[in-house]
Amino acid sequence: MAAATAVVSARDNESFRGLFSDTWSVVATLDAGSLADGAGETETVAVPGVVLGDMVLGCSFAVDEVGMSVTAYVSAANVISIRVQNESGSTVDLASCKIRLVAVRMV
């Protein structure tokens, strides 16, 4: 795989000003089970205040999740679901780890 070239990045706190009416920064512990290739599971995290229609902008794991597909979304009022799907070609057992989520509500 080739590395990206001509990458431009900016770091500031002004880019999204006025775009979101609420934001949530969440840190939780996730202990996904052992997953055979093609298997997945969905875990939930209680996040007071989120509602359907809010967006989860990002989800990061404190362990290597190579070969795993991760999707985080608001699944109900006060609940964010994290779907972990193993597409690695072999069984994977992720270690218990901290995850970080960023959820937002657009204006």
Q: Sketch the domain layout of the chain as residue ranges.
A: 26-106
Residue 2 vs residue 100, higher pLDDT: 100
Residue 16 predicted with pLDDT over 90? no
Q: Give the distance, in angstroms, between the CA of residue 100 and the centroid of all CA atoms in the same chain.
A: 7
Residue 7 is predicted with a pLDDT of: 61
Question: What pTM did the predictor assign?
Answer: 0.84
Spell out where the chain has E strands. Answer: 20-30, 40-46, 55-61, 68-76, 79-86, 97-106
Lowest mean pLDDT among 4-13, 53-62, 81-90: 4-13
Residue 36 predicted with pLDDT over 80? yes
pLDDT tens for each residue of 95-104: 888 999 999 9
Residue 107 is predicted with a pLDDT of: 86
Confidence of residue 50 (pLDDT cuts 50, 70, 90): very high
Confidence of residue 70 (pLDDT cuts 50, 70, 90): very high
